[in-house]
Amino acid sequence: MDIELHHWRKDWMMMGAFFTTEQTGEIYSRLTALKPLHLAFCALESRFARSGGLAAVTAKEIPFLKHINHFKKACLISPCYPTIMSAAPLQKSEIAFAVPFAGKSVPVQVYTYQNEYQEPQPGTVMEYFIRAPGFFEAQNRLKDPYLYYADDPLKNDAALRENALFYVAAVPHLLAAIGWRTDTIVHAQDWQAALITLTVKQAMCDENPLLQAAAVVITMHNPYDSYFPATQLDKILTPPLRKRVAETKIEGWTAFEIGLALADGPTATVSEHFARELASDPIQVEHFAPHLQTSFRRGTVRGVNNGLFVPFSPDFPLREQHTLQQIAEIKQHKREQLLKILATYTPPQRFGELSYQGQSILTLPDAIPILFMNGRLDPVQKGYDVLLRAVERFGRDEIKLVLAPMPVQEEDLDLFHQIASKCRGDITVFPIRMEKGFQELLSGSTFGLMPSIYEPFGAALDYMANGTAVIARNTGGLTDQIINEVNGLLWREVPDHYTAANIKAFAAGARVVQMRKFNPWMGDMIDALHRRLLEAKVLYQMQRQVYHKIIRQGFLQAGKFSWEKTARQYGKIYACVRR
C-alpha cells in the first residue's frame, strides 16, 4: 500500500526551544531550496556491528534508496567499535577532524569500507566509520554494539546515551569533511541517531556554518527511547543554543521527543501495521511510547515495509509454481538433512537432548512436527518464555522444539534449562551463533515460530522464503506478512487481561521470567499459543495438502516484499523535506 503524505506539514513548534525566529526562517529558506543530491544513512549498527535487523537494513537498503531515488551519491555513517570490529576489512582514510563535545575537542579518525553491490544495478556505496578515543568501546561476547556493561543495565544505559550524543555531534563534521555541505538528505535510524535533527540544524546556524542545506528524516525500528537532561544536551550544543535552552527552563526531553519534532519529513517505521499500533496498541500507548502520542497524533507515523532480507532457497527453484507433491518431496528431503544435523552437531554450548522413544532423533516419524525459533533473547519482546510455557504442556514425543536464542548472560537461560530438563528428549537449545545447521533449520523445520510480544517487522518472510510455514502472534509487521491460514498461522490471546498494569508487570519481570507465569496476560498468551500449536500439529498430521499449500502461498507472499518498493516509499518521504 502506498503511503499518503499529501496532508503532511512540518511542525515548527520545537524549533523555538533551540533556535531564534531568524534562524528558523533561514533554515526554512535553505530547506525549501534543497536539491536532494546526497543521501547519508546514519545508524549505530552496521554489517560489522550487529544487534537486530537494522544491521541487515544498512547492508540491503542503501543501494536501492540511492538508485530508485536518483541520488548522485549515498553513504553509511556509523561508529567504529574497535573491539567488536577488530577483524573488519576497514581502511584507514585521510579523513580526520575534531568534534567539540562537553567542552573538549575530541579527535576523530574515519575508517572506510566500499560496499560493491549488484542490485538494483551495479554500483558502490562508501561506508564511513567514526573512531574516537574513549568512545564506542562496547565489549561483550555477542559483539552487540549497544552493550557496554552487560551486567549493569543502568551503567550501560548511561554509556549508550553518552556514545549516542558523541555520534550525533560528529555526523555534521563528517558530512562537511566529505564535501556534502549542501543538498543532503540525512536518514537517521532509531533514537540513538534521532538528535542528528538537532546537530545538523545547529551546524546550519553557526556564525561560520559547517553545513549549508541538509534535511533529516527518521525511521523508528523500535519504540525504545532515552531521556536526556538539558545539562547532558549541553555537551553537543554551541554556547548560543545552550543559553537558549537554559532560558526555556525545561529539564530535558527524550531523543525522540526532540527528533520527531525537529525532523524535516514524516516519521517512518518498518511496517504498516506497526505504524498504526504505535498510536493504538496498549503496549505502545501505555508502556513504551506514552510520551510520544502527541507527536504521533500530530504527524502520524508512516509504515514503510522492509524488503526481503534473505534470498529464496535454491531448494525450491520454482517457488509458488511447484506442485504440492514437489513441495512435499523437497520438504521430506530437507527434514532428513535437518535430523542428521540435530543428531551430530553438538557444540559444547548446546543443551537439551532430542530423541524419539528414548532412541536416536534419526528415528523420528514424519508425523511429528519439528518447531524452530531463533533470534535475540529479548525477554520484553520476543516471547521465548511464552513459547516454553506452552510447549511444556505437551506430552512426550508429541512435538520437537529447537531454539537458537542469543542471550546476554548465562542466567538468561535459566528457564530454558528448566523446561529442557522437564521436557527431556523434546527440546534442544543452541545459545550461540550456529556454525552449521542454521540453513537446515530454516528449510527443514515443520514450522517457524514467532511468539512476539510486539514486532516492528519480524522475520516471518525468512521462513517463507525457505519453504517453512510460520506460526506467529498477530502483531506488528507479522500481521502485514502473514494472511492467517493462507500463507501462515496467526494467533492472539483474548484481550481480557491486556491492561496497562499487566503489561508493566510483564516488562518489569524481564530479569526473572520464571515469575511471569503468574501474570494473567501471560497466562492468556500461553493458553492461546498452546491451542494454536495443537491446531498446527493436527493440520500437519491430518491435512498435509493444506500444509503444503501454506508453504506455496508463503513463496508468493514473500515475493511481494522488495527493497525497490521500500525505496520508492522513502522517496515520497524525502520529497516532503522541501515543504
Confidence of residue 500 (pLDDT cuts 50, 70, 90): very high
Residue 408 has pLDDT above 90, yes or no: no
Confidence of residue 1 (pLDDT cuts 50, 70, 90): low
**Arithmetic mean of pLDDT, 120-126:** 96
What percent of the chain lies above the pLDDT cut of 70? 99
pLDDT, tens only, 71-114: 999 999 999 999 999 999 999 999 999 999 999 999 999 999 99
pLDDT at 274: 97
Asked if 211 contacts 204 with a C-beta cutoff of 8 angstroms, the reply is yes
The distance of Cα 270 from the centroid of its chain, to the nearest Å, equals 8
**Arithmetic mean of pLDDT, 171-197:** 98
Length of the chain: 579
Q: 15-279+564-578 maps to which CATH number? A: 3.40.50.2000
* Annotated domain spans of the chain: 15-279+564-578, 319-560
**Arithmetic mean of pLDDT, 318-339:** 98
**Arithmetic mean of pLDDT, 422-439:** 96
Q: How far apart are CA 185 and CA 469, in angstroms?
A: 39
Residue 503 has pLDDT above 90, yes or no: yes
Residue 3 has pLDDT above 80, yes or no: no
Amino acid at 61: E
pLDDT at 461: 98
**What integer best gives the mean pLDDT of the chain?**
96
pLDDT, tens only, 207-216: 889 999 999 9
pLDDT, tens only, 16-27: 999 999 999 999
What percent of the chain lies above the pLDDT cut of 90? 92
Q: 184-189 and 123-131: which strand pairing?
A: unpaired
Asked if 468 contacts 315 with a C-beta cutoff of 8 angstroms, the reply is no
pLDDT at 167: 98
Amino acid at 516: R
Residue 2 has pLDDT above 80, yes or no: no
Q: How far apart are CA 401 and CA 408, in angstroms?
A: 22
**Arithmetic mean of pLDDT, 123-134:** 98
- Burial status of residue 70 (CB atoms within 10 A of its CB: 0-12, 13-18, 19 or more): exposed
Q: How far apart are CA 51 and CA 72, in angstroms?
A: 30
**Arithmetic mean of pLDDT, 177-181:** 98
pLDDT at 239: 93
pLDDT, tens only, 246-273: 988 889 999 999 999 999 999 999 999 9
Residue 575 has pLDDT above 90, yes or no: yes
CA angle 538, 543, 545 (to 5 degrees): 145
Grid coordinates standing for 148? 557496554
pLDDT, tens only, 516-546: 999 999 999 999 999 999 999 999 999 999 9
Amino acid at 131: R
- pTM to 2 decimals? 0.96
**Arithmetic mean of pLDDT, 155-167:** 98
Asked if 106 contacts 163 with a C-beta cutoff of 8 angstroms, the reply is no
pLDDT at 297: 83
Nearest Cα neighbor of 130 from 106, 151, 111, 102 is 111
Q: Which residues pair with 356 in a beta bridge?
A: 359
Superfamily of domain 319-560: Glycogen Phosphorylase B; (3.40.50.2000)
E-strand ranges in 207-263 read 214-220, 227-229, 252-254
Residue 49 has pLDDT above 70, yes or no: yes
pLDDT at 562: 97
pLDDT at 429: 98
Q: 123-131 and 104-117: which strand pairing?
A: antiparallel
Domains 15-279+564-578 and 319-560 share a fold: yes
